[in-house]
Amino acid sequence: MRDAVPKGLCVALLALAFLAAGVAVATPAFAEEITERELALGRKTALQVEERWPRLDDPLRTARLDMILSRLVPHAERALPFEVRLVEADDLNAFSLSGGILFVTEGMLSFVKSDAELAGLLAHEMAHAERRHVLVQVARNERLSVLGLAVTLATGGTMGAFLAANLVQVAVMNAYSRDLEEEADRRGLDLVVEAGYPPAGMVTLLERLQEEQLRRPWVDPGIYQSHPDYRDRIAYLVSTIRSRGWPLHRKEALNLLRPTLVEEGESLLLCLDGEEICRTTGDRTKLESLARSLRRWLQLETVPYEIRTGRTSQGDPFLMLGNNRIPLPLAVDPEAFRRRLIEGLARAKSLHPIADYLL
């Protein structure tokens, strides 16, 4: 006969059920005990994960992950000992376990275009851990209360082992229901903004994952197990960003539309993503100012009719980006400049074609 569950453990598990359901637990000692058991479960589950995917000892890439996580953690709702681990796998995947252990595959780390996208990825997984989503989802799947799930896991046995395996499966496959996935998206978006990263990173990462899914619909699930689907997730994230008045500048997350100055003999060239837009001699100050203005005002969301050029009554050429008037070097043909700028914008958009820039 199996030993009875100790009274203290039952009380702790009951508190865990309340916490997972969003009910406040008044006694600080309860919260401490719950966190300890949650951490223990996460550590145990992490061992199972690392039996399948070896952990990578790569100081440089690990330092990048740690740096971004360190900016997000101060804004977390719960004081979990968050950590991120890089594992050897080519799949595009990231997931979190109970207690705040986050995993990122080597394939996913190579896939992200910028720190902004990586911050969005980690923030989303932090939100799953903060809200105990893996426990909630497994309890739903098995038609158990969270309390029943926690008691079964704590007492072990065949059923406990089965449910523990389900915890790993739900986490790794990102098999969360619509409401939990949306909650993690929205909470992750708040974390990203609070940490000072551009919110566009979450949007561009989902857009690129959607494009990858369309290219390779036969791949195994993993992060592709998405409920709701990518289009819905992108739509409500964009809507939230717009409604809160946050800038949605995809170029920051994709490292596109980058103006640079290049010296070529006696000429100074202004390039956009490596392609020449214009050149001049002896007008460096104005060209540097133009580069700064393009960096600030030209966006992937810019539409061609917002790009206009003209000349002042004195004959000086200028560029209009929306309502922003920008002087051009005197030697620059304004119409040729406009044409090349629109071509550069089209090239940049072609590198991220799946986005609905008018959304």
Its pTM stands at 0.82
Bridge partners (DSSP) of residue 324 are 321
- Measure the CA–CA gap between 244 and 313, rounded to whole angstroms: 41
pLDDT-derived band at 169 (thresholds 50, 70, 90) equals low
Angle at 131 between CA 126 and CA 136, to 5 degrees: 120
Edge-to-edge strands of the sheet including 94-96?
83-87, 101-105, 94-96
Other beta carbons within 10 Å of 177: 15
Per the prediction, the chain carries an average pLDDT of: 84
Task: Find the range with the poorest average confidence among 116-125, 168-177, 277-286, 321-330.
Answer: 168-177
Q: Average pLDDT, stretch 157-183?
A: 65
Bridge partners (DSSP) of residue 262 are 269
- Measure the CA–CA gap between 349 and 39, rounded to whole angstroms: 44
pLDDT tens figures, 112-162 = 999 999 999 999 999 999 998 887 776 665 554 444 455 445 555 554 554
pLDDT tens figures, 8-46 = 444 444 444 444 444 444 444 434 545 677 788 888 889
Other beta carbons within 10 Å of 79: 10
Assign 215 to helix, strand or coil.
helix
| pLDDT tops 80 at residue 200 | yes
Other beta carbons within 10 Å of 44: 16
DSSP state of 55: B
Q: Average pLDDT, stretch 160-177?
A: 59
pLDDT tens figures, 284-323 = 899 999 999 999 999 999 999 999 999 999 999 999 999 9
The backbone torsions φ and ψ at residue 297, rounded to the nearest 5 degrees and listed phi first, read -105, -25
